Amino acid sequence: MIKIVVAGFKGKMGATATQMVIDRDNFQLVGVLDPHSTESNLNQIGQYSQTDVPVFQTKEDLIESVQPDVWIDFTIPAVAFENTKFALKRKIAPVVGTTGFSEEEVKQLVGLSQQQQTGGLIAPNFAVGAVLMMEFAQKAAKYFPDVEILELHHDNKLDAPSGTAIKTAEMIAEVREPKVQGNPAEEELIPGARGADYQGMRIHSVRLPGLIAHQQVQFGSLGEGLTIRHDSYDRSSFMTGVALGCEKVVGLSQLVYGLEKLL
């Protein structure tokens, strides 16, 4: 039985992850964390009325009361880094879906996990289909170096581009030489019209109500094009990957970046 806490349990992703942990026989939810929560137990919230699990407002109170194996984090970028450090220092394996980490922050966390000999996972996207989309895009980029990434998310998302788009660009860059795309004399009549520039490839972010998480990787070549697209229509699509992460990290000795490392 893997003992798990969920940070950010009142957010949409956190609530979905909380229910996933409750529903799985091999997981035990031992606590949830939200600094703004006024409840002391999950059973005080209607949808969890049959679930006796303590609610904590601070990390320190949580760690004094429960001893989890895994820390699921779906909070916000401003606190996720500190939460992940906190977990690793106490040899709790983090499974982090909060995006917005810088490259330097990821390096720091990997280094800390190595010192602590503690596994962990930071994944820009937990949907298995999204991981396959990134893998397929990397394979295609060997033959189609002209590429643009279009990512579409709900209008409450805080970071842009998305972690998935950045991870996709990083994976493509591993097999593609930096290349300036488009007409070298092109001019943006409105700044930002061509999107973010990552080694010459462009990334465009759309934020609209009604969307969940979607990404299109579009390649162009002489006389042909290739489009690879993934759509998450419901947050439940991420839970297969979150559950897999929880099962795998307890057997690791350092933190890894990207769900594909565990598939």
118 labeled part of a ligand binding site? no
The annotation status of 142 as a binding-site residue, yes or no, is no
155 among the known binding-site residues? no
* Residue 34 labeled ligand binder: yes
Asked whether residue 10 is marked as a ligand-binding residue, the answer is yes
Contacts of 73 (CB under 8 A, 6+ apart): 7, 8, 80, 83, 84, 87, 94, 95, 96, 97, 98
Conformational region of residue 71, where left means phi above 0, alpha means psi within -120 to 50, and beta covers everything else: beta
**Annotated binding residue 99:** yes
Q: Which helix (H) or strand (E) holds 147?
A: strand 147-153
**CA–CA dist 138, 133 (Å, integer):** 9
> Phi first, then psi: what are they for 96, rounded to 5°?
-115, 120
DSSP 174: T
How far apart, in whole angstroms, are the C-alpha atoms of residue 124 and residue 154? 15
Catalytic residue, from 3, 85, 157, 261: name it.
157
- Is there a catalytic annotation at residue 157? yes
Q: Is 73 annotated as a binding residue?
A: no
201 is in an annotated binding site: no
Catalytic residue among 59, 153, 204, 230: 153
Going by the annotation, the residues of the binding site for NAD(+) are 8-13, 34, 97-99, 123-126
Going by the annotation, the residues of the binding site are 8-13, 34, 97-99, 123-126, 154, 163-164
- Residues taking part in catalysis: 153, 157
Going by the annotation, the residues of the binding site for (S)-2,3,4,5-tetrahydrodipicolinate are 154, 163-164
